Chains A and B, each alone.
Chain A
Amino acid sequence: MKTAVGAKTMTLVQAITDALDTMLNEKEEVLLLGEDIGRNGGVFRATDGLQAKYGDGRVIDTPLSEAGFVGAGIGMAVNGFLPVIEIQFLGFIYPAYEQIMTHASRLRMRTMGHFTVPMVIRAPYGAGVRAPEIHCDSTEAIFTHMPGIKVVCPSTPYDAKGLLIASIEDPDPVLFLEPMRCYRSAREEVPEGKYTVEIGKGKKLMDGDDVTVITWGAMVPEAMKAAKQMKENNVHCDVIDLRTLFPLDKDMIAESVQKTGRTVIVHEAHATGGVGNDVLAIINDTSFLYQKAPVERVTGFDAPVPYFGFEDHYLPTPARIKQAIEKVMKF
């Protein structure tokens, strides 16, 4: 849905700011809450300039209190506001897990729709930027497991803006994951004004008939590098950026894996209990008989995300992805 006129070239983090600006301007119920998001504009400058523009009544610096301000956000959402909460790093969201799990995600169910929580929680996530310990987690799966909340994860500026606006307009809580590694790594044209990208829909980045490569977030550029290199070896990949991790785009996954019969799933989160396993379940449920090879997963290891001195060893690389593609091709 586009109503925009004109476009600007910007980074992913600028597209986030643009989306917040657009929605603060459009709906007075929209409020931003978080640590250091006011004068400081957020640790990644995602809210840069917004407090100056909209005032400290709408761009609100909160105490250091993830459970407290997520809990208060629930109270505000129930009482007519549309809070967009920034968690500084996904690795710091855990104190708020209880509020999200026991309240934000299930209040609609508990009250049969009488009380609802139209709230967005934004969180930068992932390794690869030499950030300190705990700042690099990719624990999206503990939220996709939780019924009643959507989990969105764009990898490009265009999708970031459109999906964030869609998340703010969504009547249910949305966890909006922002790959730190993509914040400033690329620029693209982003329409001015309001547009949305539909939650729950993946995006095809490259067409190919040989292998499906399914990924999201900061692994998208890595998967694309591997796919481009494989193309030189005459292996053609169908590359999917899922963009939403709950609900997954079942149709896009099924259509692609039925075409190729070979799949590599790439994510930086740990393998065990990872969202990749849900992708595998979709392949099993929809496309079992189309498979020519067992599905390969290229993931972070089942170890805590290490200090950044080791992160290059932890994160999936184009080399590891290529190896998996070759393996499914040779099966």
Chain B
Amino acid sequence: MENHFPIRRIMDENGTIINSEYKEKVTEKLVKELYRHMVRIRTFDRKAISLQRQGRIGTYAPYEGQEASQVGTAAALGENDWMFPTYRDHGAAMTFGHSLRNILLFWNGRNEGCVPPDGKKIFPPGIPIATQIPHAAGAAFAERKKGTANAAIAYFGDGATSEGDFHEGLNFASVFKAPVVFFNQNNQYAISVPIEKQMNTKTIAQKALAYDIPGVRIDGNDIFMVYFETLKALERARKGEGPTLIEAVTWRYGAHTTADDPSKYRDQSESNSRRQETDPVLRLERWMKNEGIFDEKWQQAAEEEAAAEIDKAVAEMEDFPPADPAVIFDHVFAEPTWQIKQQKEEYLKLIGGGR
């Protein structure tokens, strides 16, 4: 099956475009935009880990190493498309326009963080594995019923493809030709379990065969491949041709979350060698250098701009008003039931009517 589903790429590790049909499509403007986003989300990720270490946010799920997959997909989406991320896809969410402050609030235990900016159809992060996949199928089916050209994208990892909801979601979407892109980031570990213990199949893309939908296996660290393949899948969806499964093969350098230690279950020296060889940011940098458009001052400015934006978001997160206990009670139902009214009243009275 690996032969049927080869890992496709547009750009190799050296930053050379090996598929000439894309040469014209890769413009300097596009590259710089993608690069800036990758730098931005990488800076965010490192900052968030540091905030967690300092006790300034809660447990955090890092994505460093997966930037091309997250930025490439998010950049391909249309303004009115739907995004169904997991807890490791806030890089994609912020690229699609989610508020950095709110993403930090989410990681700091606040419901306010799940609220996307107005008009942004970004679901809160899926926590139980694969459960967001049927939501994406349903939201996409709804767009089809409304007769729009909008689509949805669902993110999930390799382990998610073992869950029933993955199969039920793909089956549902394939039966109803829902305009949805199922975007798998195969980072090859589900917390500690490597992919060969997760599934008997050699690829995830081949699972598309069971639903008679296109399945493509791509290099998830090649941002050109991710971007153009996502665009293609979205276009297919918008034309009413149904869902696509994309397997983006990638690697997370760090831990599953800040609560675990990856050196317990894998040799972290592989992460170090991957940083040198297959890193998505470095690879795009190499392309720019090859093209002679890489400018260190521009790069430095991009990094500084990202750092400043993130520092501002951190300050906003930390200046955010403390948790208002009323929030616990006020959003269970549109109209609170008597139980909730009574519990709220008694609790607020106990703590003196406020915080």
Which of B82, B140, B168, B339 is within 8 Å of A67, CB to CB? B168
Chain B 84-100, CB-CB to A under 8 Å as 1, else 0, gives 00000000000000000
Q: CB distance B338 to A71 under 8 Å? A: no
Q: CB distance B172 to A247 under 8 Å? A: no
Q: CB distance B171 to A79 under 8 Å? A: no
Q: CB distance B165 to A67 under 8 Å? A: yes
Tell me whether A79 and B337 are in contact in the complex, defined as CB-CB below 8 angstroms, given that A72-B134, A73-B138 are known contacts. Answer: no
- In the bound assembly, the distance between CA atoms of A110 and B115 in angstroms comes to 8
Tell me whether A63 and B175 are in contact in the complex, defined as CB-CB below 8 angstroms, given that A71-B168, A75-B142 are known contacts. Answer: yes
Contacts of B128 in A (CB 8 A): 98, 102
Which of A81, A147, A150, A200 is within 8 Å of B142, CB to CB? A81
Q: CB distance A71 to B138 under 8 Å? A: yes
Contacts of A22 in B (CB 8 A): none
Chain B 105-147, CB-CB to A under 8 Å as 1, else 0, gives 0000001101110000001100110010111111111110110
Tell yes or no: A76 within 8 A of B by CB.
yes
Tell yes or no: A274 within 8 A of B by CB.
no
Which residues 324-347 of B sit at the A interface, judged by CB distance below 8 A? 327, 330-334, 337-339
Q: CB distance B165 to A75 under 8 Å? A: no
Which residues 25-51 of A sit at the B interface, judged by CB distance below 8 A? 31
Q: CB distance B165 to A71 under 8 Å? A: yes
CB-nearest residue of chain B to A106: B332
Contacts of A246 in B (CB 8 A): 337
Chain A 102-115, CB-CB to B under 8 Å as 1, else 0, gives 11000111111111
Q: CB distance B337 to A200 under 8 Å? A: yes
- In the bound assembly, the distance between CA atoms of A79 and B138 in angstroms comes to 8
Q: CB distance A114 to B116 under 8 Å? A: yes
Tell yes or no: A175 within 8 A of B by CB.
no
Contacts of B136 in A (CB 8 A): 75
CB-nearest residue of chain A to B110: A112
Q: CB distance A72 to B141 under 8 Å? A: yes
Q: Name the residue among B142, B327, B339 with the largest chain A CB count within 10 angstroms.
A: B142
Q: CB distance B115 to A111 under 8 Å? A: yes
Which of B114, B127, B333 is within 8 Å of A114, CB to CB? B114
Tell yes or no: B159 within 8 A of A by CB.
no
Q: CB distance B164 to A67 under 8 Å? A: yes
Contacts of B330 in A (CB 8 A): 112
Contacts of A67 in B (CB 8 A): 134, 164-165, 168
Which residues 246-273 of B sit at the A interface, judged by CB distance below 8 A? none
CB-nearest residue of chain B to A70: B134
Q: CB distance A68 to B171 under 8 Å? A: yes
- In the bound assembly, the distance between CA atoms of A73 and B135 in angstroms comes to 7
Q: CB distance B169 to A79 under 8 Å? A: no
Contacts of B111 in A (CB 8 A): 109-112
Contacts of A247 in B (CB 8 A): 337-339
Q: CB distance A147 to B332 under 8 Å? A: yes
Contacts of A99 in B (CB 8 A): 131, 134, 165
Which of B112, B115, B134 is within 8 Å of A74, CB to CB? B134
CB-nearest residue of chain A to B164: A67
Tell yes or no: A273 within 8 A of B by CB.
no
- In the bound assembly, the distance between CA atoms of A148 and B333 in angstroms comes to 6
Tell me whether A72 and B114 are in contact in the complex, defined as CB-CB below 8 angstroms, given that A65-B172, A109-B332, A148-B332 are known contacts. Answer: no
Contacts of B82 in A (CB 8 A): 79
CB-nearest residue of chain A to B170: A68
CB-nearest residue of chain B to A57: B145
Tell yes or no: A206 within 8 A of B by CB.
no
Tell me whether A68 and B134 are in contact in the complex, defined as CB-CB below 8 angstroms, given that A80-B146, A109-B331 are known contacts. Answer: yes
Which of A71, A95, A108, A115 is within 8 Å of B333, CB to CB? A108
Q: CB distance B142 to A68 under 8 Å? A: no
Tell yes or no: A158 within 8 A of B by CB.
no
- In the bound assembly, the distance between CA atoms of A103 and B128 in angstroms comes to 10
Q: CB distance B142 to A79 under 8 Å? A: yes
Which of A65, A79, A95, A171 is within 8 Å of B139, CB to CB? A79
Q: CB distance A65 to B135 under 8 Å? A: no
Tell yes or no: A212 within 8 A of B by CB.
no
Which of B133, B140, B331 is within 8 Å of A71, CB to CB? B133
Tell yes or no: A328 within 8 A of B by CB.
no
- In the bound assembly, the distance between CA atoms of A156 and B273 in angstroms comes to 70
Tell me whether A171 and B127 are in contact in the complex, defined as CB-CB below 8 angstroms, given that A72-B135, A72-B138, A110-B111 are known contacts. Answer: no
- In the bound assembly, the distance between CA atoms of A101 and B133 in angstroms comes to 16
Contacts of A95 in B (CB 8 A): 164
Q: CB distance A75 to B137 under 8 Å? A: yes
Q: CB distance A112 to B139 under 8 Å? A: no
Q: CB distance A112 to B114 under 8 Å? A: yes
CB-nearest residue of chain B to A78: B139
Tell yes or no: A139 within 8 A of B by CB.
no
Which residues 76-95 of A sit at the B interface, judged by CB distance below 8 A? 76-81, 95
Q: How far is the CB of A295 from chain B (nearest CB, A)?
A: 20
Which of A72, A79, A107, A172 is within 8 Å of B143, CB to CB? A79
Which of B115, B140, B168 is within 8 Å of A112, CB to CB? B115
Contacts of A171 in B (CB 8 A): 333-334
Q: CB distance B168 to A68 under 8 Å? A: yes
- In the bound assembly, the distance between CA atoms of A250 and B134 in angstroms comes to 37
- In the bound assembly, the distance between CA atoms of A81 and B135 in angstroms comes to 13
Q: CB distance A76 to B134 under 8 Å? A: no
Contacts of A70 in B (CB 8 A): 134
Q: CB distance A75 to B139 under 8 Å? A: yes
- 24 A-B pairs with CB atoms under 8 Å apart are A57-B145, A63-B171, A65-B171, A68-B134, A69-B168, A71-B131, A72-B138, A73-B138, A74-B135, A75-B136, A75-B137, A75-B138, A75-B140, A75-B142, A78-B135, A99-B131, A102-B128, A102-B131, A111-B111, A111-B114, A111-B124, A115-B124, A116-B334, A172-B334
The 9 closest A-B CB pairs, nearest first, are A75-B138, A71-B134, A68-B168, A72-B138, A79-B142, A75-B139, A247-B337, A75-B135, A171-B334
